[in-house]
Amino acid sequence: MKKITAFIFGIVASLSLFAQTPSVTTNILNTTSTTIEAEFQMGENCTKYAILADALGSMTVWTQMMGVSLEELVIQWGITYEQNATYTWDELNPNTPYEVFVVAMNETDTADVVITNCSTASQGGEGESLISIELSELTKTSVRMITVPNDQTAYYYNGLVTKELYDEVGEDSVMSILKSTPYQLYETDDWVWLDLMPYTEYYALAQGANVNDEWGVVSKVAFRTLGDLSITQLEKEQTLLLYPNPAKDFVVLQNSVAGDEVELSDIQGRVLQKFVTNTSKTRLNVSDCKPGFYFVRIKNAESAEETIGKLIIND
The CATH number of residue 139's host domain is 2.60.40.10
Name the 3-class secondary structure at 221: strand
| Assigned domain for 307 exists | yes
Is 75 within the bounds of a domain?
yes
Residue 129: what pLDDT?
96
Indicate if the pLDDT at residue 93 is higher than 60. yes
Query: Are 69 and 147 in a shared domain?
Result: no
Is-contact 26 100, C-beta < 8 A? Answer: yes
How far is it, in rounded angstroms, from Cα 304 to Cα 299? Answer: 6
Q: How many domains does the chain have?
A: 3
Domain stops at, among 86, 119, 152: 119
pLDDT given at position 313: 86
Radius of gyration of the chain (CA): 28
Report the distance separating Cα 44 and Cα 21, nearest Å: 9
Q: Which residues pair with 306 in a beta bridge?
A: 299
- 108-148 pLDDT, tens digit per residue, is 999 999 999 999 998 999 999 999 999 988 888 899 999 99
Please choose, from the candidates 293, 285, 287, the residue with its C-alpha nearest in 3D space to the C-alpha of residue 311. 293
Query: Do 37 and 112 fall within a single domain?
Result: yes
Higher pLDDT, 20 or 192: 192
Average pLDDT score over residue span 276-287: 82
In a domain, 136, yes or no: yes
- Would you put residue 13 in left (φ > 0), alpha (ψ -120 to 50) or beta? alpha
Last residue within a domain, chosen from 119, 154, 187: 119
- 15 vs 18, 20, 47, 96, CA distance in Å? 5, 9, 20, 40
- 86's CB contacts (< 8 A; 6+ apart) are 29, 37, 38, 39, 40
Q: Which residue among 119, 140, 171 closes a domain?
A: 119
Q: How far apart are CA 82 and CA 79, in angstroms?
A: 10
Q: Do 113 and 88 belong together in one domain? A: yes
Tell me the average pLDDT across 65-93.
95
If asked whether residues 6 and 113 sit together in one domain, one would say yes
Give a yes or no: residue 139 inside a domain.
yes
Q: Which of 65-69, 153-157, 203-207, 304-308 has the lowest mean pLDDT?
A: 304-308
State how far the Cα of 157 lies from the Cα of 296, in Å rounded to an integer: 24
Residues 51 and 96 in one domain: yes
Compare 226 and 268 and report the one with higher pLDDT.
226
Any domain includes 38: yes
Whether residue 234 is predicted with pLDDT greater than 60 in this model: the reply is no
Buried b (16+ CB within 10 A) or exposed e, 142-168: bbebebbbbebbbbbbbbbbbeebbee
User: Residue 32: is its pLDDT beyond 60?
Assistant: yes
Residues spanned by the domain of 34: 2-119
Q: How far is CA 36 from the centre of its chain?
A: 19
The predicted pLDDT at position 239 comes to: 52
pLDDT confidence tier of residue 296, bands split at 50, 70 and 90:
confident
The torsion defined by the Cα of 209, 189, 151 and 157, in degrees rounded to 10, comes to: 0
Residues 207 and 249 in one domain: no
Indicate if 176 and 258 belong to the same structural domain. Answer: no
Identity at 255, one-letter amino acid code: N
- pLDDT for the residue 262: 87
